[in-house]
Chains A and B, each alone.
Chain A
Amino acid sequence: MMDFKRITEQLNLRAQCQRYRVPLLQCPQFLFLIMGIIIIGAAITAYLIGMRYIEDPEIIALMVLTLSVILFIFTYIITISFERLAEANRMKSEFVKIVSHQLRSPITNVSWAIDSLMSGALGRIQKSQLEYFKILKENSSRMKELIRDLLITSRIEEGALPIRKEKVSLVKVVESLISEFRPFAFASNVKVEFDFDKDLPEIFTDYHQVKVVIENLLDNAIRYIKKKGKVKIRLGKKETDIYFRIEDNGIGIPEDDQKYLFQKFFRSKSGEKQGTGLGLFITKSITERLNGKIWFESEEGKGTTFWFSLPIK
């Protein structure tokens, strides 16, 4: 009874493929099925050809059998390889998810303790101590962001990124992020300008996800300006979409790197050594999940412009 249950589970292709979280063409069970059909087709074809040109039925049978066995061995090798690859991929994703989740709690605890100290709730902070608290806060925020990026990436790969839509004012999101990034922009000698169309409507989208998208683009725009520079942000409406545009006069992206820009873990040769290389992969994945589009233009040494559009409804 147990064996029958296991067999029927194995025959449930859809469930097996979902388990690996790979496209159908990389799913070992699906490939096995396709190869099976190919083997049957090859055997029938060999038989028909044999019948036409060979008289001895034993030779035909031997030929068909040999061909089937060879194809079956190839199928087995290919399927096992894909299965191992899919399983390794699944375990890697699972590992990243578990570790990121476990790391999140102690880092949140540290971050909140630092916030509590810096708020003055336990007494005034000396000027000499403030610098150290700022270092602690900056680095714990960085760790939180890295873990967030790993977790988001893991969810994107599982197809399990939660989306909670509500009415969002993109103008307010951008203004709040510009305010958050003000110290970083000041320290980097970068001026951030923002303008937007009058009467821009609110859009129906996920506030937290769209904030991540704009935050990644703004962070990159400031970070990749190496001398005194400017970042210009524009929000506009066109028909049924809102358009966001961010332009910087930074180092730009080398032409050879541009086609890989949105790939996971890709970091341009000219870019920062820090970071996971997940920012733009996440930005693109989220934008598309929110039914939007993202694109860019860049020239090395001159700067980069990113656009994304999101539907209003």
Chain B
Amino acid sequence: MPKTILFIEDAMALQKAFGDILRKEGYKMIPALDGEEGLKLAKTEKPDLILLDLILPKIDGFEVLRRLKENPKTKKIPIIILTNLEDIEDINKALELGVITYLVKASYSPEGVLGKIKESLKE
């Protein structure tokens, strides 16, 4: 059974580019283009891992993170932040809210992020 990754990211270009790579690696990728859709899909699809951007339309990434961690149905799903925000306050805030790792998009290639996903899913 392929592992499921929920990718909450509003940039269609990244959804497409990374989605193709994830599918090639045998993962099932579920896209969400805003925070509201992301929260809904996290509850209904119960993914094995969530990739979450912080700047999102409708509900921003930090609020999505907070609600995911408060909901008993979603609080155990491992979350990786994938964002271009790199101020230390944002990093600390996300780590305090319980993410497993915080990745700055501009510093990682798709292969680098894939490596972190595999590490987190213990593959």
Question: Measuring CB to CB, which residues of chain A are less than 8 angstroms from any residue of chain B?
Answer: 101, 104-105, 107-113, 115-116, 119, 121-122, 144, 147-148, 160, 162, 164, 208
Complex Cα distance, B110 from A257, in Å, reads 41
Question: Which residues of chain B have C-beta atoms less than 8 A from A121's C-beta?
Answer: 20-21, 23-24
A116 touches B106 (CB 8 A): no
B84 touches A109 (CB 8 A): no
A109 touches B13 (CB 8 A): yes
Among A116, A148, A160, the residue within 8 A (CB) of B110 is A116
Q: Is B105 an interface residue (CB 8 A)?
A: yes
Question: Which residues of chain A have C-beta atoms less than 8 A from B16's C-beta?
Answer: 113, 116
Question: Which residues of chain A have C-beta atoms less than 8 A from B24's C-beta?
Answer: 119, 121
A109 touches B87 (CB 8 A): no
B13 touches A112 (CB 8 A): yes
Question: Measuring CB to CB, which residues of chain B are less than 8 angstroms from any residue of chain A?
Answer: 11, 13-14, 16-18, 20-21, 23-24, 84, 86-88, 91, 105-107, 109-111
B23 to chain A, nearest CB (A): 8
Question: Which residues of chain A have C-beta atoms less than 8 A from B20's C-beta?
Answer: 116, 121-122
Q: Taking CB as reference atom, which chain A residue is nearest B86?
A: A162
Q: Would you list 12 pairs from A and B whose C-beta atoms are within 8 A, ordered by A residue? A: A104-B106, A109-B14, A109-B17, A111-B109, A112-B105, A115-B111, A121-B23, A121-B24, A144-B106, A162-B87, A162-B91, A164-B88
Question: Which residues of chain B have C-beta atoms less than 8 A from A105's C-beta?
Answer: 11, 84, 105
Among A108, A115, A162, the residue within 8 A (CB) of B106 is A108
Contact A115 B17, CB 8 Å, known A109-B11, A121-B24, A162-B91:
yes
Complex Cα distance, B110 from A43, in Å, reads 69
Question: Which residues of chain A have C-beta atoms less than 8 A from B109's C-beta?
Answer: 111-112, 115
Question: Which residues of chain B have C-beta atoms less than 8 A from A108's C-beta?
Answer: 14, 84, 105-106
B57 to chain A, nearest CB (A): 14
Among B13, B106, B110, the residue within 8 A (CB) of A119 is B110
Extra contacts, 17 of them, besides A112-B105, A164-B91 (Cβ < 8 A), are A104-B105, A105-B105, A107-B106, A108-B14, A108-B84, A108-B105, A109-B17, A112-B13, A112-B14, A115-B21, A116-B18, A119-B24, A119-B111, A121-B21, A144-B106, A148-B106, A160-B88
Question: Which residues of chain A have C-beta atoms less than 8 A from B17's C-beta?
Answer: 109, 112-113, 115-116
B21 touches A119 (CB 8 A): yes
Contact A162 B84, CB 8 Å, known A109-B14, A116-B21, A116-B110:
no
B87 touches A112 (CB 8 A): no
Q: Taking CB as reference atom, which chain A residue is nearest B104?
A: A208
Question: Which residues of chain B have C-beta atoms less than 8 A from A116's C-beta?
Answer: 16-18, 20-21, 110
Contact A101 B21, CB 8 Å, known A113-B16, A162-B91, A164-B91:
no
Q: Taking CB as reference atom, which chain B residue is nearest A105?
A: B84
Complex Cα distance, B20 from A108, in Å, reads 16
Question: Which residues of chain A have C-beta atoms less than 8 A from B14's C-beta?
Answer: 108-109, 112
Contact A112 B110, CB 8 Å, known A121-B21, A162-B86:
yes
Complex Cα distance, B18 from A104, in Å, reads 17
A175 to chain B, nearest CB (A): 17
Complex Cα distance, B106 from A112, in Å, reads 9
Complex Cα distance, B17 from A110, in Å, reads 9
Contact A160 B18, CB 8 Å, known A115-B110, A119-B110, A121-B24:
no
Instruction: Name the 7 nearest CB pairs between A and B, nearest first.
Output: A162-B88, A109-B13, A116-B17, A121-B20, A112-B17, A121-B24, A113-B17
